[in-house]
Amino acid sequence: LDFSTNINNDASSITVAREDLAGVSDIFIKNLKQDEQGKYIVGVDYPTYFTIMETCSVGATREKLWLAFNNRAYPANDPVLKKIIALRDQRAKMVGFSSYAALEIDDEMAKTPARVKEFLGNLLSKTDVKMAQEIDLLKKHLPAGVELTEQGQFKPWDFAYVKAEYKRTHLAFDEEALKEYFSMQHTIDQLLAIYEQFLG
């Protein structure tokens, strides 16, 4: 609970100028708060984070937000996480398991961490070729301003943007445009209607 609360209460943000939000819709930007200098305050909540990572064409903005998002609740959660790991290990060994993973998986179909590892390894080997093809395709169609690392890899803050930009450019699919068809109230009403049918 402490771990989750620390993340939920994290109010980290970055501040950027209007030009640093190039590619982001005007409607989205209008809903952002501004500081005294008129810069936009971009928080680390999920809707804001994913919108910026997928639509902002400014790499420096994506990098700053990625770093802020991935450092939520740090350093507050560092000792909490260490305590969680230690207590889980202690709990597992108290009831005769070699690890917390073994305890957690014991009543599942896989039964052991070794079988899970084997299953995932087999799955990975079957998807490697297709994944490599898709990564190569994205590398051949890099948007302006995106560069690979010296090792030919994507920077972590660029990958979501590259994928979204490929969909927009080559597949004529824009998730932001799709959202217009799913207004919040209409979506809630339809979900509740499905539950009403399901539950009678």
The structure's pTM equals 0.83
Q: In sequence order, what DSSP letters do the residues of 40-72 get, joined into one string? A: EEEE-SHHHHHHHHHH---HHHHHHHHHHHHTT
| 161: pLDDT strictly greater than 80 | yes
The confidence score (pLDDT) of residue 38 equals 96
DSSP H or E run through 14: strand 13-16
Tens of pLDDT, residues 37-90: 999 999 999 999 999 999 999 999 999 999 999 999 999 999 999 999 999 999
What is the arithmetic mean of pLDDT over 156-163?
A: 97
- 7, 35 contact by CB (below 8 A): no
| Angstrom distance (rounded) from CA 42 to CA 34 | 9
Measured between its terminal Cα atoms, the distance across the chain in Å is 35
Per the DSSP assignment, residues forming a β-bridge with 16 are 40
| Angstrom distance (rounded) from CA 23 to CA 118 | 43
What is the arithmetic mean of pLDDT over 113-129?
A: 95
* Residues of the chain above pLDDT 70, percent: 100
What is the average pLDDT score of the chain? Answer: 95
Token pair listed for 41: 């305050």
For residue 156, cis peptide bond before it (omega within 30 degrees of 0): no
